Amino acid sequence: MIEINGKKFCENCFEPVTGAVCKSCGFNSEEGSPDPTTLSPGSVLMNRYVVGRVIGKGGFGITYLAYDALVNKKVAIKEYYPYGLAQRVTESTQVAVTSADSAEAFKLGAEKFYNEAKLVTRFNGNPNIVGVYDCFYENGTAYIAMEYLKGQTLKEYIRENGVLSAPKALYAAKSIVNALIVAHSASVLHRDITPDNVILCENGDIKLIDFGAARQVVAEYSQTFSVILKPGFAPPEQYRKKGNQGPWTDVYALGTTLYFMLTGDIPEDPTGRFDDDDTFKDNNFDVEPALW
């Protein structure tokens, strides 16, 4: 459990607790072992954000459930932590580069991560883009404090419930399009549209999360870093360090995500389809021909 402003909270859900076991989520604070690569529950950022459990870990960052002690609400905190370039200093909150050769790529990626977060704050209030509250540097890296969304990723939902009907899939796709119209008009690319980054919220909203500008910067400047892609969802230009990316990059990824919504299948990588692109010739998924 974690004490905040004189009250005890569950580190797993940040609901009030009175004992070792949380009555809201069943979490037992006396069980489990710490992960040395992540911030420990109870760590405090900017003297206001109290870190709880890990929500997700990706190629470029770690996302935590956290509690904003200043305004008393749950938030999500994303820590810039590019795989292969960053490491946690033993028994510390500090993040360091894995080698001197990685320092420049790490620094430029952190700056892009921070600057894009500031840009995304202008989209706050958009029903299809996650809200960004704050961005800051601490522990040798960068952080973003965001709206905490209750719900499931599109990937999780389809795994549990099966593919979406055509009307539901088109509604989700149009929601993402609405988000992209706003982002692209401000010259902001998402670069990582996948079923992992679309949240189906409990209140019915569909929100796009996790803009990935740092991905391109790190890939371009790192000599040792392999570009981390979502196989099947990334367009061909993302397979090259200096591929020509633009709005079309997001359009391709949205197309593959719509395909996944309707079929539950991940498309073949584009690099394997240059010579023979018959992947989508046969409609074996009972999708309406015009939509197919």
- At 265-289, the pLDDT tens digits run 998 888 888 888 887 888 889 899 9
The top-level CATH class assigned to 150-208+229-292 is: mainly alpha
Domain with CATH 3.30.200.20 in the chain: 8-149
Helix (H) or strand (E) holding 28: none
Q: Are 131 and 147 in contact (CB under 8 A)?
A: yes
Candidate list 68, 134, 192, 250, residue with the active-site label: 192
Token output for 130: 């996650």
Specify the amino acid at residue 138: E
Q: Are 105 and 221 in contact (CB under 8 A)?
A: yes
- Distance in angstroms (rounded) separating the CA atoms of residues 82 and 62: 9
Strands 7-9 and 2-4, sheet pairing: antiparallel
Q: Are 261 and 158 in contact (CB under 8 A)?
A: yes
Buried-exposed string 14-29: b where 16+ CB fall within 10 A, e elsewhere: beebeeeebeeeebeb
What are the pLDDT tens digits along the chain (292 aa)?
899 999 999 999 999 998 889 999 999 988 877 888 999 999 999 999 999 999 988 888 999 999 999 999 999 999 999 888 899 998 899 999 999 988 988 999 899 899 989 988 999 999 999 999 999 999 999 999 999 999 999 999 999 999 999 999 999 999 999 999 999 999 989 989 999 999 999 999 999 998 876 666 666 666 544 556 788 999 998 888 778 999 999 999 999 999 999 999 998 888 888 888 887 888 889 899 999 9
Residue 160: CB atoms within 10 A of its CB come to 8
Predicted TM-score (pTM) of the model is 0.88
Of the chain, the end-to-end C-alpha distance in Å amounts to 51
- Distance in angstroms (rounded) separating the CA atoms of residues 280 and 292: 8
DSSP classification of residue 271:
G
Burial label for 64, CB within 10 Å (0-12, 13-18, 19+), is buried
Closest Cα partner for 230 from 145, 149, 173, 154? 154
Asked about 192 being catalytic, the answer comes back as yes
- Distance in angstroms (rounded) separating the CA atoms of residues 234 and 270: 8
Q: Which CATH architecture is the domain 8-149 placed in?
A: 2-Layer Sandwich (3.30)
Domain with CATH 1.10.510.10 in the chain: 150-208+229-292
DSSP classification of residue 26:
-
Helix (H) and strand (E) counts in the chain: 5, 13
